[in-house]
Chains A and B, each alone.
Chain A
């Protein structure tokens, strides 16, 4: 808990960057909203969403970009692996993975305030967005949101640790960004993806970051099933992360890099 607070305060010092990020998210939110409005005017009720719901979806996804780090990054780990400082982290008594997760949750909490709320407010003012029907949905959404951040962390942590084995990590981060932006629902709601592509996209872990929390917010999906889906992917990714950490410790600490 203290670590979460530390992560929050550490990122709070970069308020100018967060404000700029919020501005950018808002601008892109507006542009995407227009495109979705045009689509939903051509096809009312598409994917079970109304126009206002589609616009809401659009601003929700923009609001997730900061906390979920949809474009990747957010962790110091690759930098520390490149400089070799990771050896110090791996021999600490605390688990590197839990340590990073706490800090990441703190970062996400701060960015939720700084980067998620402003685009949502602007969206509400310019286009009007829908609110969850009641406190139960709000609560479910907050749980789903946190689970989304954990899934996002699980994935980014794996990508970051891969820097231990891959020589050029830039290619990997580009690949991760492509997968995440496309299959999370950031660019378009996954509900309008056609046929098998839609089925596949909705089953993959990235949908737990954007599409599922948005559907919980909009009340478009049974809450229990959605949270279970997110928890499943969180567990799988964190488990894989733990295995990868053990392997990294063997490689870095025992073999000496």
Chain B
């Protein structure tokens, strides 16, 4: 499955490379568009020195880790949110008659490598943040763990959104509220949000494990909401649980798929 995924990605990348100007423009576009969020944070910090109790370096760290996870998931599997287009156009039928998981097929269909622009941007912000912060060597190991877990969590979120589109073919934007909304939520320290919302994204939809809980460990900060300390180490477990739920939802969605038209 991984091999097929890579082969398909490579085939589509070669197809995209036949239009180098368009490719370059879209990569730069992705880089700049996601850079807008950084501009917003910058404007905020021209007006204040701390947001929700966190300074610029810490906010950039939380932003960078959340965005890097999101950008990786988006690059690798973000196409899944086009599923309702495929259902309406009837091309989803075509994917079902092929000997490869439709999830892999949708994720790679017209795979556009220009989303790498977002990954680069997020990585640059993270590097900037780490240069400003003084993260102790004993805690830095958590950074790759949290980015990997975060990528899995966001991928699972895409898959859940995709599965929901089997029911909501007319309104795929509802799924966007959770995928893009989730990514936007995690760009700021959770201390700016209400306690109810934070408990929701900790215990129900475990987005807090993308960057917030492990980030508190890396930054060596108290939890402003007073949640248990050991939650900081649960990101891989949360990612595994999300992946399992998403896989089940996806399978159920396909079983209930009703092909349209003739």
Contacts and interface: CB of A to CB of B under 8 A. Distances in A.
* A adjacent to B, CB under 8 Å: yes
Interface of A: 16-17, 19-21, 23-24, 27-28, 31, 34-35, 37-39, 42-43, 46, 168, 170-171, 174-175, 177-178, 181-182, 187-188, 192-194
Nearest to B19: A168
A42 B47 CA distance: 9
A90 to B, nearest CB: 27
B186 to A, nearest CB: 10
Given A34-B193, A171-B29, A193 B43 contact: yes
Contact of B171 (A16, A27, A168, A175): A16
A39 B44 contact: yes
Interface string B36-60: 1001100110111011100000000
B192 A34 contact: yes
Interface string B155-171: 00000000000001011
Contact of A188 (B22, B40, B172, B193): B40
Contact of B44 (A37, A177, A188): A188
Binding site secondary structure of chain B: helix
A17 B171 contact: yes
A31 B36 contact: no
Nearest to B37: A187
Interface string B168-180: 1011111011000
Interface in B11-31: 19, 21-22, 25-26, 29-30
A38 B192 contact: yes
A17 to B, nearest CB: 6
Contacts of A170: 22, 26
A177 B47 CA distance: 25
B25 A168 contact: yes
Given A20-B168, A194-B43, 15 more contacts: A20-B172, A20-B174, A24-B173, A34-B188, A34-B194, A34-B197, A39-B47, A42-B48, A42-B50, A174-B29, A175-B29, A188-B43, A192-B43, A192-B44, A194-B46
A40 to B, nearest CB: 9
B232 to A, nearest CB: 22
Nearest to A46: B47
A187 B185 contact: no
Interface in B171-214: 171-174, 176-177, 181, 184-185, 188, 191-194, 197
B25 A17 contact: no
A21 B170 CA distance: 11
Most buried by B among A17, A31, A174: A31
B33 interface: yes
Contacts of A168: 19, 21-22, 25
A24 B26 contact: no
B163 to A, nearest CB: 16
